[in-house]
Structure formats: structure tokens, C-alpha cells
Structure 1
Amino acid sequence: SSVMVGVLPKALHLFRERYPQVNWRLHEMTPAAQVKALKEKRIDACVFRVGYDDPQLRNELLIYEPIHVVMPADHPLATREVLAPADLAREPFVALELKQSRFANFLYQCCVQAGFTPQIRQQVIEVQTLLSLVRAGFGVALLPASIEQLAPAGLVFRALTPALPEVPLYATYRADDASPVLKLFLDTLRELVETSGQHKSR
């Protein structure tokens, strides 16, 4: 659910406008279910925060995004415009489900590499649930900066210095898929990435 901001929804809108004759459906599935459906040819493409090392699949890097910390607007740390990762060492965290999300594990390892083990109080499946729990004071969270577009009132996003590793966004599809419709969709994604001002390299 963290990918439904920025480039992807814009690409879906533009693709629908340009190719109204193409019938398509968006599926919300866990990452593992997406990979299984992709290999079984029940879906044509996935958008993931973390790529899959699989010879049957091709991961095309779209962008890298900075990681920000999100917290309630009345949190003591919210008065500062920039925080250090070490400032979060004693904070309770709300996180995406570690067993369901490779992206959640990526964020967890970012904390470990920054010198602390995050104290995860709650794990959730959906980003909107995570944002609601953070707003209710259950803890802070780490998310791509673009998620601020979805955040309800009462939350603030703060940059981290030194920054955590930026998170990639990949389009993943079958390596042997020569579908012209898939190519049109990938071309739409690539075009929007190029014009979005977001970067591909760290």
C-alpha cells in the first residue's frame, strides 16, 4: 500500500486516458501473493519497494526515495526540523508486518545499521492503519517521504541526518513477457519517472 502515491497512481491515470480500449484491473495483494500470481500468469506486473532475486522475474528500478520519520504533531521531537536516527532509539515504533513485507524488513535493517534495534510496539498490514496508530500516539514510524501526501492532519514528517539508505521502487514483471500492452504500461511508468524530478541513482 505504500506504493499508491506518486508515480504509480499517475501512471495508472495516464495509461487509462491514453489506452481506453485496454481493460485492466488493479489488485491489492501481499508481496508473496503477487510473486506467485505473476509466475502463474494471473497478473502482468507488480510494483514493489524491494526487488526479487529470481531468474524468472525482471526488476526495473524506477526511483529511489528518502526515508522520513513520521510522528504526532505534539510529539516532543516534532519541534525539530531534522532528526538523527539515534534520536529514535528509545521511541516505540509502529511498523508494517515484518512477516508480510520485505519493505518492513528493509526499514528494520536500516535502524540496525544506524546503531539501534527499533522497539516495535505494533505491526500492521496497511499504511493507513499505521498512520492512524502513529497519530493516536502508539509510536513513531519510518516511511518513504511521499507518504506525507496520504497523511491525515495531526502528523508530521521529519528528515533524518545522517539519512537512512533510500528505498527503491521497482516495476517487476516476467522476464519472458513480450506483451505489447505490458510494454505500453512500462513506457508510461518510465515517462512519468523521467518527468517527475525524482531520481534513479542514490
Structure 2
Amino acid sequence: MELRHLRYFVAVVEEQSFTKAAEKLFIAQPPLSRQIQNLESELGIQLFERGSRPLQTTPAGQFFYQHAVKLLSNAEEIKTMTKRVGMVEKTVTIGFVGSLLYGLLPRIVYLFRQQHPNLKIELVEMTTTNQIQALKEGRIDVGFGRLRISDPAIRRILLREEPLMVAVHDSHLFATKRQGIYLSDIVEENIFLYPNHPKPNFSTQVRGLFSEYSLEPRSLKEVREIQLALGLVAAGEGMCIVPESARTIQLPHLNYIPLLDDAAKSPIFLAIRSMDESEDIRSLFDSIYQVYDLEAIKYDRTVI
């Protein structure tokens, strides 16, 4: 059995017609029919219900179709990643979630550029979920995100746990509590979450944090992005939970108060392909930990 046999079979299933599949594949119908017959003979089963209009698969054919699609997808991922590994021009493409631009990521990337002037570095903003698929397809080489998403093809390294804070208007009573407050203190407040794009995302993480402490906030409103959420807070419309690094966003009448709950942290993960042990990736780790050393941030280097 060869990959082309799988492509032929998948085309026939999806087109529900040998004639249409042959046109899609740019081959004549008789050879296509023979290839499918040979495939059925090799498997010793019937893949299509004979005489059905439109053409339908047997239960065994449907099972084979689902796995054929997966195998073809894996083959394309392997081809794309292999091409990328063999590229003459040295390029490292980094996916990242937008909130990390307010933290140490810009310094890490700048240092990485300075230490590797002959390396082309590209930055692409994307959600953590999209980073996983982009890594598998070879569109990026490394991803920085905040969500715990598991995939056997991806290796995820926890870089650090970033404390969370609450952004409040300076007229709010909590603005005077510089030492910090607890999640239980804000359950009756209007709380803005972000982003509101498909889950899971940072808003999912915040909701989970309340659930972990068996708390049910009275009012949670999702908005498009962090800047909008903080703008609404600055307008006195409510409050917002943000990573500590968001303190660099300064707006009039905006205050940041620490959250004192032990679990009030947002993890920062680096994701790479499971078998990727390139020197460029190791050099990126060096840049990360050099910046962490300068900031006195604790980390576990044994994970790489």
C-alpha cells in the first residue's frame, strides 16, 4: 500500500463519485477504479457499498477513511518539517501570545538577535492553540504561550509562573491596598476578562482560577483584548485580572494591586517540536535564562 493509494481512496470518498474523483486527481476513471479494486483486494474487504448513489463507504471503509486522512496529514507535516530543517537560509520563526510583549519577551528576542546576527528571526502573533498546529506544520519553530496544551508531537517547557494582579481605578477602595487583595475580595465586582476569541485562552485560565477556590464572581464580561479591558477599568467601569508584566501599560487613574492567592499565577510555556534539538533552539534558551538571571527570576534549567 502506498500513499497515492490512500489519496485515491480519500478523493473517491470525499467526492462520492469515481468520475468526480478522477477529475480532481487528473487521472482517467478506469485506472482509478482499478487502484481502488487493488486496494480492496490487498485489504481483503469491501470499502464501498456497490450500487449506492451517491457512493457510500461500508463501515470498514469509513474506518479506513478516517485513518487514511490522518496518515496523509502526518505525511504532509513530516514533509514540511523536513524541508524546513534542510533550509539553506537559517531562520527561526517564533510564535507568541500578545500579552507576552509587555513582559520579558522583547528583551529575550533582542538579546537573541544581538548574539546571532547571521540568523533571521521572525515573530508571529498567534494563540497558544494555533501555535501547536503551526509547530506541527513547520510554520514556526518555537512558541511562547500561557496555556497547558498537551500534544505528543510537541514538547512543552515551563519557563516560569508569572504573578497575577488586579487593575483597578484609583477611586476604588482597593486602590489603597498596596499589599494586595484576594480573589474572594472581588467576587462582587464587575470584572473584565480578555480575550474573547475561541477558547481556551487567558479568560479561560482566570475562570478556572475562581473555580479552583470555589468562587462564583457576580459579573464577568469578556472583551476583545487587554488594552480594551484596561481602558474600561481606567474609565471606572470595573476591574481586570492581568499578568504582572501588564503594569507597563500605564493609563490615567489606573492602579495595579497584587493578588495574594497562592494559585494566582499565569504560567509561561515555551513549546517546540518533540524531536527538535537544534543548536538555534538551545541558543534561544541561553538568551531566555540570561535575561532571567538579570531579573533574578528563578528557573529550572534541567528541563532542557
Q: TM-score, normalised by structure 2?
A: 0.61
Q: Is residue 172 of structure 2 the alignment partner of residue 71 of structure 1? A: no
State the SS of the aligned residue for 1:64: strand
Which of structures 1 and 2 has the larger relative contact order (alpha carbons within 8 angstroms, sep 6+)? Answer: 1
- Which 5+ residue runs of structure 1 have no aligned equivalent? none
| Corresponding position of 2:186 | 88
Counterparts in 2 of 1:116-155, with a 5 A limit? 116-155=215-254
| Corresponding position of 2:259 | 160
Q: Deviations over 1:136-163 (max 9, x none)?
A: 2232111111210123232111123344
> Greater share of strand residues, 1 or 2?
1
| Corresponding position of 2:213 | 114
State the SS of the aligned residue for 1:67: strand
Letter in 2 for 1:191: Q
State the SS of the aligned residue for 2:101: coil
Whole-Å separation in 2 of the counterparts to 1:120 and 1:27: 33
State the SS of the aligned residue for 1:26: strand
Whole-Å separation in 1 of the counterparts to 2:262 and 2:107: 27
| Corresponding position of 1:185 | 284
Q: How far 1:169 moved relative to its partner?
A: 0.8
Q: How far 1:113 moved relative to its partner?
A: 2.2
Q: How far 1:181 moved relative to its partner?
A: 1.9
Structure (1 or 2) with the larger CA radius of gyration = 2
| Corresponding position of 2:89 | none
Whether the aligned pair in 2 keeps the contact of 1:86 and 1:115 (CA below 8 Å) is: no
| Corresponding position of 1:39 | 136
Whether the aligned pair in 1 keeps the contact of 2:129 and 2:149 (CA below 8 Å) is: no
> Greater share of helix residues, 1 or 2?
2
Letter in 2 for 1:22: L
- Which 5+ residue runs of structure 2 have no aligned equivalent? 1-97
Q: How far 1:120 moved relative to its partner?
A: 4.5
Whole-Å separation in 2 of the counterparts to 1:121 and 1:185: 38
**Greater Cα shift, 64-73 or 192-201:** 192-201
Whole-Å separation in 2 of the counterparts to 1:10 and 1:136: 31
Letter in 2 for 1:90: E
